[in-house]
DNA sequence: CGGGGAGAG
DNA sequence: CATTCTCTCCCCG
């Protein structure tokens, strides 16, 4: 019964013929000496991810460095490329110098600007010859050399190999990065637009089809970023004009029911309107037809996001074979809450650089909402068949302020959180005292409100600093329920034509090997010392606690002092 | 804003 | 077509 699959495997395993989501029995047959690791330890990956992200971001001028998952990053390097294009000397291209810092002409690397660095698509017998009048080609050439330099630095300085794609938007750079991997890079060559065949000049005679379509056409429709399982199935159904041929036996890779981008693009009547009919409907994204049509044509004007200081949510979850009694649930809630609190400390707490409070920590952001989600396992049907509803249900509510208090020890805070918040939420989710069986429990903090940062640029010792910080923190908590206009935002208007015209350059990165055996060991940032909070936060913690003198019992609705609640809840637990 | 769906690694 | 554990963006009421 317990047919166990491995979830993922590293590149070495893949080289030897294994793949994701494979049966372990099957894997052992192919690679008898395969090492199976049970469970996962995401902490080290998270640390490595942060480190490498910072390293990559250090190359950026405009801060447009966006993470996707733990191991992929987009960089919009348009500004570096533009700057260095202006530096090119047409009379000596082979000894070009790529300047990495705007304010220091000595920092950078030498490169040969007469050609593309690394691989390119389409592969051709002779490397493309650079024409400085070809704007796009020149930019992609510069991007390819920057990518090469960053990959080499990443490997030499950090000990990580990486794979890169270079093109003009996020979709294309991500997809073209898959062409040569691992430890390689690929540039999607021009032309990116089809030449008008109505009046072909002698020079653009034969071959001038857009390399974008040439590249995308062979992809399965579901491989395009933004077109996932549900959407690709709907498109497939329509193209094949029959109900979804079940993809049983199609565990991975090659599709026999393959519908490619080309099949979709050239389907009679295909366009944004038809796609809207296929994909649209209540609950679906507005304008999904146009969006999908753009993806199919490699058009993507979404910006590479600036680095965000804090995530928009932090969640911890675990899955279970069987979880159907209250004492077990309590135990798990405590475990999860402990992990969550740790994560909040490592991700949301930073050293307070205020010279008056050395060694203390301050919150980068305050989550306002706590959410509890579960995935109930549906009871077997009367006829023995299994209905699968793998979906989650959730309840959320305000996150109690005491969790920001760093003076109490973790166990006490966790216990309080479980008793006053998580158990009541659990009762809202599962009012029945028994009969449920959970396959997953997740707790999350969301609605993160960033703490106004004073980066100290106003000068070192400022007597008003502490006071002003107190002001901003208090303001943050005062506005809770009021309709206050948002802070003014400096909106920099950029030229949307840049992306559409293919004048920006994106580099998508992937560092695939967080290898255990790497020579360079990546160490985590380690445990936070149990320090006192700063004077300011300490004081408002106390104030906020005052609001919680009484609590209402989630079960019997009785109101009572908060210190009595834990015992009261245990009473219910025993009773139920 | 609460709850859920879809898609990403 | 999810198995795992996250995370983001989006829609509806």
Establish if A183 belongs to a structural domain: yes
In a domain, A119, yes or no: yes
Residue A502 lies in a domain: no
Structure tokens of A59?
Answer: 């190359």
Instruction: Name the average pLDDT for chain A.
Output: 75
| Number of neighbouring beta carbons within 10 Å of residue A525 | 10
Domain that holds residue A386: 313-455+465-479+520-575
Taking the CB of residue A526, how many other CB atoms lie within 10 A of it?
Answer: 8
**What is residue A249's predicted lDDT score, i.e. its pLDDT?**
38
Cα distances (Å, whole numbers) of residue A539 to A404, A417, A542: 12, 21, 5
Each residue of A497-523: pLDDT tens digit?
233 333 345 665 655 433 222 222 211
Helices (H) then strands (E): counts for chain A: 18, 16
pLDDT band with cut points at 50, 70 and 90 for residue A5: low
**Mean pLDDT, rounded, for A522-537:** 20
A227 touches strand B (CB under 7 A): yes
pLDDT of res. A353: 76
Helix (H) or strand (E) holding A555: none
- State the average pLDDT over residues A357-378: 89
Beta carbons of A576 and A569 less than 8 angstroms apart: no
Spanning CA of A57 to C1' of C4, the rounded length in angstroms is: 29
A17/C2 CA-to-C1' distance in Å: 23
User: Are A185 and A177 in contact, with CB atoms under 8 Å apart?
Assistant: yes
Higher pLDDT, A565 or A370: A370
Residues A420 and A272 in one domain: no
A302 found inside a domain: no
Angle made by CA atoms A329, A334, A336, in degrees to the nearest 5: 90
Asked whether strand B has any atom less than 7 Å from the CB of A392, the reply is: yes
* Confidence grade of residue A451 (pLDDT, cut at 50, 70, 90): confident
Inform me whether the pLDDT recorded for A42 exceeds 90. no
- Give the CATH number for residue A152: 3.30.70.270
Residue A479 has pLDDT above 60, yes or no: no
CA distance A324 to A322: 6
pLDDT at A126: 86
Span A63-82, mean pLDDT? 94
**Integer distance in angstroms from CA A562 to C1' B7?**
41
A510, part of any domain: no
Specify whether A354 is located in the same domain as A258. Answer: no
Residues A415 and A555 in one domain: yes
Number of residues assigned to chain A: 576
In this prediction, residue A541 carries a pLDDT of 20
Give the tokens for residue A298.
């490699």
Lowest mean per-residue pLDDT among A53-57, A95-99, A528-532? A528-532
DSSP A225-289: TT--HHHHHHHHHHHHTSS----TT--SS--TT--BHHHHHTSTT-SHHHHHHHH-STTSPTTHH
Phi-psi region of A209 (alpha: psi -120 to 50; beta: other; left: phi over 0): beta
At A490 the three-state DSSP class reads coil
| A530 pLDDT more than 90 | no
User: How far: A390 CA to C2 C1' (Å)?
Assistant: 8
Same domain for A231 and A266? yes
| Same domain membership, residue A364 and residue A348 | yes
Nucleotide at minimal C1' distance from the A372 CA: B3
| In chain A, residues 300 through 329 whose Cβ sits under 7 angstroms from any atom of nucleic acid strand C | 305, 308, 311-319
Residue at shortest CA–C1' distance from C13: A283
Residues A251 and A395 in one domain: no
Residue A307, domain member (yes or no) = no
Of A296, A331, A351, the position where a domain reaches its end is: A296
Least confident of A43-47, A220-224, A378-382: A378-382
Q: What is the mean pLDDT of residues A362-369?
A: 92
- Band (A258; pLDDT cuts 50, 70, 90): confident
Q: What pLDDT, in 10s, does the model give residues A183-203?
A: 999 999 999 987 655 555 555
How many structural domains does chain A have? Answer: 3
- Residue A251 and residue A286 in contact, taking contact as beta carbons nearer than 8 Å: no
Cis preceding linkage at A303, omega within 30: no
- A259 CA to C2 C1' in angstroms comes to 22
Model confidence at A434, pLDDT cuts 50, 70, 90, reads confident
Q: Both A433 and A559 in a single domain?
A: yes
Q: A77-91, A141-155, A304-318, A456-470: which range is least confident on average?
A: A456-470
Note the pLDDT of residue A413.
95
Q: Do A142 and A26 fall into the same domain?
A: no
Dihedral of the alpha carbons of A351, A354, A357, A363, in degrees to the nearest 10? -40
Instruction: Please give the Cα distance from A465 to A460 (Å, whole number).
Output: 9
For residue A311, which of A448, A503, A429 has the smallest C-alpha distance? A448
Q: For A64-87, what is the mean pLDDT?
A: 95
Contact A142, A96 (CB under 8 A): no
Is residue A392 domain-shared with residue A290, that is, in the same domain? no
Answer whether any strand C atom is within 7 A of the Cβ of A444: yes
A389 and A527 together in one domain: yes
Of A263, A296, A329, the domain-final residue = A296
Is the minimum distance from the CB of A393 to strand B below 7 Å?
yes
Beta bridge partners of A507: A75, A166
Estimate the share of chain A in helix, then strand, then coil, as percent rounded to the nearest 5.
35, 15, 45
Instruction: Specify whether A29 is located in the same domain as A112.
Output: no
Q: Return the number of other C-beta atoms located less than 10 Å from residue A228's C-beta.
A: 10
Residue A13 has what pLDDT?
76
- Which residue has the least CA–C1' distance to nucleotide C4? A7
- pLDDT beyond 50 at A534: no
What's the CATH number where A15 sits?
A: 3.40.1170.60
Burial class (CB in 10 A: 0-12, 13-18, 19+), A504: buried
- C-alpha to C-alpha distance for A232 and A158, rounded to whole angstroms: 38
Closest CA to A164 of A172, A255, A156: A172
In a domain, A170, yes or no: yes
Please indicate, yes or no, whether residues A125 and A99 belong to a single structural domain of this protein.
Answer: yes
Q: What average pLDDT does the segment A547-573 reach?
A: 42
For residue A542, how far is the Cα from the chain centroid?
Answer: 36
CA of A284 to C1' of C10 (A): 8
Q: Is the CB of A248 under 7 A from strand C?
A: yes
Question: A91-118 burial by CB neighbour count: b if 16+ within 10 A, else e?
Answer: eebeebbbbbeeeeeeebeebebebbbb
Q: Where a domain ends, among A236, A270, A296?
A: A296
As a whole number of angstroms, the distance between CA A218 and CA A332 comes to 47
Question: Can you give the pLDDT at residue A340?
Answer: 95
Q: Which range among A268-282, A351-365, A549-563 has the greatest average pLDDT? A: A268-282
A7 touches strand C (CB under 7 A): yes
Q: Is A185 helix (H, G, I), strand (E, B) or coil?
A: strand
Q: Which of A330-339, A485-494, A525-534 has the highest mean pLDDT?
A: A330-339
CATH label of the domain that carries residue A543 = 3.30.1490.100
Is residue A256 over pLDDT 90? Answer: no
The pLDDT, as a whole number, for residue A509 is 60
> Strand A361-363 vs strand A365-376: parallel, antiparallel, or unpaired?
unpaired
Query: Which strand B nucleotides have any atom less than 7 A from protein CB atoms?
Result: 1-9
Q: Is residue A104 pLDDT above 90, yes or no? A: yes
> Once rounded to an integer, what is the mean pLDDT over residues A16-31?
74
Per mean pLDDT, which range of A3-7, A71-75, A472-476 is the poorest? A472-476
Residue whose entry in the numeric block shows the structure tokens 């630095």: A153
Asked whether residue A38, judged by its CB, lies under 7 Å from any atom of the DNA or RNA strand C, the reply is no
User: What is the pLDDT averaged over residues A29-50?
Assistant: 79
Whether A474 and A399 have beta carbons less than 8 Å apart is answered as: no
Nearest nucleotide over every DNA/RNA strand to the A233 CA, judged by C1': C1
* CA–centroid distance for A158 within its chain: 21
Higher pLDDT, A513 or A332: A332
A449 phi and psi angles, rounded to 5 deg = -100, 115
Q: Has residue A245 got a pLDDT over 70?
A: no
Annotate A76-137 with DSSP letters as a single string. Answer: E-HHHHHHHHHT--TT--TTEEEEEETTEEEEEEEE-TTS-SSEEES--SSPPPP-TT-HHH
């Amino acid at each position: 019964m317990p047919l166990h699959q491995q979830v993922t495997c590293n590149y070495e395993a893949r080289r030897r013929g294994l793949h994701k989501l494979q049966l372990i029995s099957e894997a052992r047959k192919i690679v008898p000496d395969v090492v199976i690791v049970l469970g996962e330890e995401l902490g080290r990956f998270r640390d490595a991810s942060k480190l490498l992200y910072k390293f990559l971001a250090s190359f950026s001028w405009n801060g447009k460095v966006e993470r996707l998952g733990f191991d992929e990053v987009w960089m919009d390097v348009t500004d570096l490329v533009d700057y260095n294009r202006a530096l090119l000397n047409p009379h000596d291209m082979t000894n070009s110098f790529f300047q990495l810092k705007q304010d220091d002409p000595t920092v950078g690397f030498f490169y040969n600007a007469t050609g593309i660095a690394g691989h390119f698509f389409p592969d051709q017998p002779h490397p493309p010859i650079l024409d400085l009048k070809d704007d796009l080609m020149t930019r992609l050439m510069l991007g390819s050399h920057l990518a090469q330099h960053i990959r080499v630095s990443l490997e030499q300085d950090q000990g990580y190999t990486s794979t890169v794609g270079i093109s003009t938007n996020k979709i294309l750079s991500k997809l073209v990065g898959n062409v040569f991997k691992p430890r390689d890079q690929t540039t999607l060559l021009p032309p990116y637009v089809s030449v008008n065949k109505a009046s072909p000049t002698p020079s653009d005679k034969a071959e001038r089809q857009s390399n974008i379509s040439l590249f995308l056409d062979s992809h399965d429709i579901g491989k395009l970023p933004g077109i996932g399982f549900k959407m690709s199935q709907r498109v497939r159904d329509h193209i094949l004009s029959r109900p979804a041929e079940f993809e049983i036996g199609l565990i991975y890779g090659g599709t026999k029911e393959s519908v490619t981008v080309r099949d979709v693009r050239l389907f009679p009547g295909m366009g944004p309107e038809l796609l809207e009919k296929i994909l649209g409907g209540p609950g679906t994204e507005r304008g999904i037809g146009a969006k999908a049509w753009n993806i199919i044509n490699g058009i993507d004007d979404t910006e590479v996001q600036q680095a965000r200081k804090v995530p928009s949510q932090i969640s911890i979850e675990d899955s279970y074979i069987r979880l159907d009694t209250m004492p077990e649930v309590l135990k798990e809630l405590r475990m999860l809450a402990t992990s969550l609190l740790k994560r909040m400390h490592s991700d949301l707490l930073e050293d307070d650089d205020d010279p008056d409070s050395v060694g203390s920590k301050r919150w980068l952001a305050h989550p306002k909402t706590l959410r509890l989600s579960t995935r109930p396992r549906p009871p077997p049907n009367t006829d023995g068949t299994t209905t699968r509803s793998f979906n989650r249900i959730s309840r959320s509510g305000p996150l109690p302020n005491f969790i920001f208090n760093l003076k109490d020890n973790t166990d006490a805070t966790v216990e309080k959180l479980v008793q006053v918040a998580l158990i009541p939420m659990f009762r809202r989710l599962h009012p029945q005292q028994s009969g449920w069986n959970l396959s997953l429990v997740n707790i999350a903090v969301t609605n993160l409100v960033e703490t106004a940062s004073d980066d100290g640029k106003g000068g070192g010792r400022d007597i008003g600093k502490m006071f002003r910080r107190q002001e901003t923190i208090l303001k943050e908590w005062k506005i809770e329920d009021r309709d206050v206009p948002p802070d003014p935002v400096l909106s920099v208007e950029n030229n949307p034509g840049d992306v559409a015209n293919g004048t920006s350059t994106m580099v998508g990165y992937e560092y695939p090997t967080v290898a255990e055996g790497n020579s360079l060991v990546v160490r985590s940032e380690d445990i936070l010392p149990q320090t006192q909070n700063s004077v300011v936060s300490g004081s408002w913690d106390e104030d906020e606690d005052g609001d919680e003198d009484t609590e209402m019992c989630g079960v019997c609705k009785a109101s009572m002092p908060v210190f009595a609640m834990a015992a009261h809840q245990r009473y219910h637990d025993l009773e139920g």
